[in-house]
């Protein structure tokens, strides 16, 4: 009996010395302590020993050997465990590696267009400015040559606030603020959110994006304006698009134009997006009115310039073939996920 234990001890010693990784240590655990191990079977067999004293001694020696094996294996497995972690840090774990969460978001389509336009315009030397969404009557209307009770106010139904301020109806407020702050000459764009108290349909939202543009210098003409608009549309659509220029009335420009784009949803045939007209109103623009310059302390005899107010959300509709403006603010992930 004693010999048996010595043999087990001896083979374990050899096997243990050869167990040079965690896997091998785990296998030894089963081999030497498991239900089918020699030691276990041996411990079950000592029941047949008649001599009680002898049985006690052998039983004790079995337990001592079991504990010894258990402790040695435990110690070694901890050691390899630590080693494995260290190795994985060394080989697989890079602290500088970017973490991409499983459900990472995507850039909103309007923002995509905005960023594209910012690249185009900064490339032409324009600076990007912004202004408040909660605005005073002065910056949203009066400084743009739209005094109180002027009929032009009716074209921009306004959300008035309790504090006598309003939610800006147009990004043109940024023109005025930029002129006051920087004077002339000036080349700016101002993308941002606008709000109008309108009933919603396929091409009208109560909250939508515009991008204002303003260029002031000496000897600026309508040709500069049209040239800039053409570059902008060509860059965005990556091809020539059909446009139409009509006279447009905005008190802050003279002359004023409506630059419409042939509807890219229906190809000009007429649909609910373009209200069956074949064209979509996209880019009102014009030469800055002398009164606007005067109010912002710029001399209209020295300087002139052009301004435009691009409908950014509508441009995104044309670019991505989206037939209804209401998708943009719907928060519908099925819609947003298409722009990854």
Contact in structure between 171 and 195 (CB atoms under 8 Å): no
Using alpha carbons, list the distances in angstroms from residue 2 to 78, 133, 218: 31, 91, 110
- Which residues have a Cβ under 8 Å from the Cβ of 338 and sit 6 or more positions away? none
**CA pair distance 257, 251, nearest whole angstrom:** 12
> Could you say whether residue 135 binds ligand FA5 (CB under 6 A)?
no
Binding segment (CB under 6 A) for ligand FA5, from list 46-54, 83-91, 234-242, 281-289: 281-289
Q: Which of 180, 169, 196, 205 is nearest to 309 (CA)?
A: 169
> Could you say whether residue 289 binds ligand FA5 (CB under 6 A)?
no
> Could you say whether residue 284 binds ligand FA5 (CB under 6 A)?
yes
**Whose Cβ is closer to ligand FA5: residue 38's or residue 118's?**
118
**Whose Cβ is closer to ligand FA5: residue 135's or residue 205's?**
205
Burial of 193 (0-12, 13-18, 19+ CB in 10 A): middle
> Could you say whether residue 168 binds ligand FA5 (CB under 6 A)?
no
DSSP bridge pairs for 287: 306
Q: Applying CB under 6 A, what is the total number of residues that bind ligand FA5?
A: 25
> Could you say whether residue 145 binds ligand FA5 (CB under 6 A)?
no
* Neighbouring C-beta atoms of residue 292, cutoff 10 Å: 25
Q: Shortest distance, CB of residue 280 to ligand FA5, whole angstroms?
A: 7
**CA pair distance 212, 223, nearest whole angstrom:** 18
* Neighbouring C-beta atoms of residue 189, cutoff 10 Å: 27
Q: Shortest distance, CB of residue 215 to ligand FA5, whole angstroms?
A: 11
Q: Shortest distance, CB of residue 126 to ligand FA5, whole angstroms?
A: 14
> Could you say whether residue 172 binds ligand FA5 (CB under 6 A)?
yes
Contacts (CB under 6 A) with ligand FA5, residues 188-247: 196, 198, 204-205, 208, 210, 212
For the chain, the first-to-last Cα distance in angstroms comes to 73
Crossing angle between the packed helical segments 52-91 and 2-18, to the nearest 10 degrees: 0
**Whose Cβ is closer to ligand FA5: residue 73's or residue 109's?**
109
- Which residues have a Cβ under 8 Å from the Cβ of 9 and sit 6 or more positions away? 65
Q: Contact with ligand FA5 (CB under 6 A): which of 311, 316, 318, 327? A: 311
Residue nearest to ligand FA5 (CB): 311
Binding segment (CB under 6 A) for ligand FA5, from list 111-119, 128-136, 224-232, 309-317: 309-317
- DSSP assignment, residue 126? P
Q: Shortest distance, CB of residue 116 to ligand FA5, whole angstroms?
A: 17
> Could you say whether residue 109 binds ligand FA5 (CB under 6 A)?
no
Binding mask 236-255 for ligand FA5 (x = CB under 6 A): --------------x--x--
Sign of the C-alpha dihedral, residues 312, 315, 319, 321?
positive
> Could you say whether residue 314 binds ligand FA5 (CB under 6 A)?
yes
Contact in structure between 257 and 247 (CB atoms under 8 Å): yes
Q: Which of 153, 197, 144, 152 is nearest to 175 (CA)?
A: 144
Residues that bind ligand FA5 (CB under 6 A): 156, 170, 172, 196, 198, 204-205, 208, 210, 212, 250, 253, 256, 281-282, 284-286, 307-309, 311, 313-314, 325
């Amino acid at each position: 009996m004693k010999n048996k234990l010595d043999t087990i001890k001896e083979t374990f010693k050899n096997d243990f010395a050869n167990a040079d990784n965690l896997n091998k240590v785990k296998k030894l655990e089963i081999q030497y302590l498991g239900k089918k191990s020699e030691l276990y079977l041996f411990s079950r067999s000592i029941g047949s020993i008649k001599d009680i004293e002898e049985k006690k001694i052998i039983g004790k020696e079995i337990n001592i050997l079991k504990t010894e094996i258990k402790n040695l294996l435990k110690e070694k497995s901890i050691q390899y465990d630590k080693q494995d972690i260290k190795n994985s840090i060394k080989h697989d774990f890079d602290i500088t590696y970017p973490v991409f969460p499983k459900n990472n978001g995507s850039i909103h389509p309007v923002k995509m267009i905005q960023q594209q336009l910012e690249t185009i315009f900064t490339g032409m030397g324009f600076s990007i400015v912004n202004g408040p969404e909660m605005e005073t009557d002065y910056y949203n209307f009066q400084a743009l040559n739209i005094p109180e009770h002027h009929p032009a106010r009716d074209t921009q139904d306004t959300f008035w606030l309790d504090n006598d301020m309003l939610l800006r109806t147009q990004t043109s407020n940024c023109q005025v603020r930029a002129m006051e702050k920087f004077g002339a000459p000036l080349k700016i764009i101002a993308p941002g959110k606008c709000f109008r108290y309108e009933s919603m349909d396929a091409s009208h939202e109560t909250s939508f994006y515009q991008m204002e543009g303003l260029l002031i210098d000496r000897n600026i003409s309508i040709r500069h304006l049209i040239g800039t608009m053409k570059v902008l549309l060509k860059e965005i659509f990556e091809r020539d698009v059909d446009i139409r220029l009509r006279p447009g009335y905005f008190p802050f420009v003279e002359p004023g134009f409506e630059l419409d784009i042939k509807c890219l949803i229906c190809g000009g045939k007429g649909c609910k997006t373009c209200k069956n007209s074949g064209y979509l109103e996209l880019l009102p623009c014009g030469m800055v009115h002398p009164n606007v310059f005067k109010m912002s302390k710029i001399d209209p005899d020295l300087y002139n310039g052009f301004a435009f107010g691009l409908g950014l959300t509508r441009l995104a509709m044309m670019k991505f073939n989206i037939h209804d403006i209401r998708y943009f603010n719907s928060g519908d992930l099925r819609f947003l996920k298409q722009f990854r």
